[in-house]
Amino acid sequence: MSESDTEAEQLSILHLQQTLHGERQKIPVQPVSKKGERIVRLEHAGKKKSYLMAAAGILVGYLFFFTSSLWYPGQNNASEYTPIGQLQKIGETENSVTIEYWAYASEQQAMSVELDVNTAEKVSFEAVDKKRREIPVTVKLSQAGTYVLELDSVQPDFQAVSLRVTVEGKIIRLYTNEKQVDQVKELKFYQDLDGYYQARINRNIQSLEQEIADQKELIQKLNEEISSCQKQIDQTNERLPYLSRQQRTDAENSIEDWKKQIESYQTQQKEAKERITELTDEIENQKKLISGEGGVPESNTENSVTGEIKETDSSVSESDTEQVEGESK
């Protein structure tokens, strides 16, 4: 047999093997036994169940995200934080409430809230945190329209608190959160209204002193900016004799811009110094109030609560959850 014949025979055998291999691939797979079929079906059922559970979890997550503001009070944004010192109307009545102070002491797990309430009617208070946990509310002082409340058992993870104030069946919700509330080491409660007025004045003085410090810091920064601009002017003036006509024109324009910027900085400095003078005068007026020269408001003993401390009902009904949020903002 020649070499060419041998090669042809080998090619024929290879072709036959490929053909048989292709036929085997076309042979249908025999069905498995019923036991095996049941196992396969169970596997598919398990996968289907897992997919359904995953989809349900995603759906619940979306619902929680988009409806969290309805379930929980006091999110950490401006719309659900009640500003200090801003009068809040209670419904469509002439009654109003203003938060004067709101503090939290983590070691005591308690809050202190000072309110000025303009009403002749009975006032009640209830509170919950963001996780809908009820917070006991105790009225520590009720005198001349000023209410001092103690919110007890406020957990460290409170995140936000909603305080419900009810007057004549009308409800308003006041909010604070962990970023806005004044974090203090210890809460202080006083026997009479004068003590709270004194504390309020001291807080005012501290706030004024902080603003003075901020204004002084601003003046210092403006001085640095002025020095930087003046340095640029001096360096550019030194290079003027060596510049071309166009370069000289551009440099002179830059010098004028720096001079205008210096004037702007100097105007801001003047305004800051005037503000410091105003703040200093206000501090002196506040100090006179402490010493009695400015006439600290006298306590109205007829409306004062003496001896007995009143604790309000801290329960929150289902209807509270459904109250229109518009009443609270």
**Average pLDDT value for residue range 58-70:** 50
Task: List the single range of 205-209, 224-228, 318-322 with lowest mean pLDDT.
Answer: 318-322
Three-state SS for the chain is: CCHHHHHHHHHHHHHHHHHHHHHHHHCCCCCCCHHHHHHHHHHHHHHHHHHHHHHHHHHHHHHHHHHHHHHCCCCCCHHHCCCCCCEEECCCCCCEEEEEEEEEECCCCEEEEEEEEECCCCEEEEEEECCCCEECEEEEEEECCEEEEEECCCCCCCCEEEEEEEECCEEEEEEEECCCCEEECCCCCCCCHHHHHHHHHHHHHHHHHHHHHHHHHHHHHHHHHHHHHHHHHHHHHHHHHHCCHHHHHHHHHHHHHHHHHHHHHHHHHHHHHHHHHHHHHHHHHHHHHHHCCCCCCCCCHHHCCCCCCEECCCCCCHHHHCCCHHHHC
Query: Do 86 and 179 share a structural domain?
Result: yes
- Distance, in Å, from the CA atom of 114 to the CA atom of 149, rounded to the nearest integer, reads 6
Classify residue 153: in a domain, yes or no: yes
Q: What are phi and psi of 18, to 5 degrees?
A: -65, -40
Rounded distance between C-alpha atoms, residue 141 and residue 135, angstroms: 18
Sign (positive or negative) of CA dihedral 201, 206, 210, 212: positive
In 3D, which of 186, 136, 191 has the Cα closest to residue 161? 136
Is residue 199 a part of any domain in this protein? yes
pLDDT for res 1:
54
**Judgement on whether residues 123 and 253 belong to the same structural domain of the protein:** no
Whether 150 has a pLDDT exceeding 80, the answer reads yes
CATH of residue 125's domain is 2.60.40.10
Residue 71 sits at φ, ψ, to 5 deg, of -80, -35
Whether residue 287 lies inside any domain: the answer is: yes
The token duo for 206 is 């501290």
Mean pLDDT (the chain) is 78
Is residue 281 situated within a structural domain?
A: yes
Global pTM value: 0.60
Verify that 231 and 291 share a domain, yes or no.
yes
- What's the pLDDT tens digit per position in 227-261? 999 999 999 999 999 999 999 999 999 999 999 99
How many angstroms separate the CA atoms of 219 and 140, rounded?
A: 44
160 in Cβ contact with 178 (< 8 Å): yes
Confidence of residue 63 (pLDDT cuts 50, 70, 90): low
Query: Is 62 within the bounds of a domain?
Result: no
Q: Which amino acid type is present at position 143?
A: Q
Residues 181 and 283 both lie in one domain: no
Each residue's pLDDT tens digit, 261-280:
999 999 999 999 999 999 99
267 inside domain: yes
- Split at pLDDT 50, 70, 90, the class of 326 is very low
| Number of domains present in the structure of the chain | 2
| One-letter identity of residue 210 | Q
Q: Are residues 114 and 160 in the same domain?
A: yes
Residues 318 and 261 in one domain: no
What pairs with residue 311 in β-bridges?
Answer: 138
Does residue 271 share a domain with residue 122?
A: no
In this predicted structure, the answer to whether residue 324 has a pLDDT above a threshold of 50 is: no
Say what the pLDDT of residue 74 is: 41
Same domain, yes or no: 163 and 112: yes
Residues 214 and 261 in one domain: yes
Instruction: Evaluate whether residue 20 is within a structural domain.
Output: no
Shared domain check, 137 and 92: yes
The whole domain housing 155 covers: 78-190+307-328
In a domain, 7, yes or no: no
91-126 pLDDT per residue, tens: 888 999 999 999 999 999 999 999 999 998 999 999
Domain match, 266 and 318 both: no
Residues 206 and 272 in one domain: yes
How far does Cα 214 stand from its chain's mean position?
23
Q: How far apart are CA 289 and CA 100, in angstroms?
A: 17
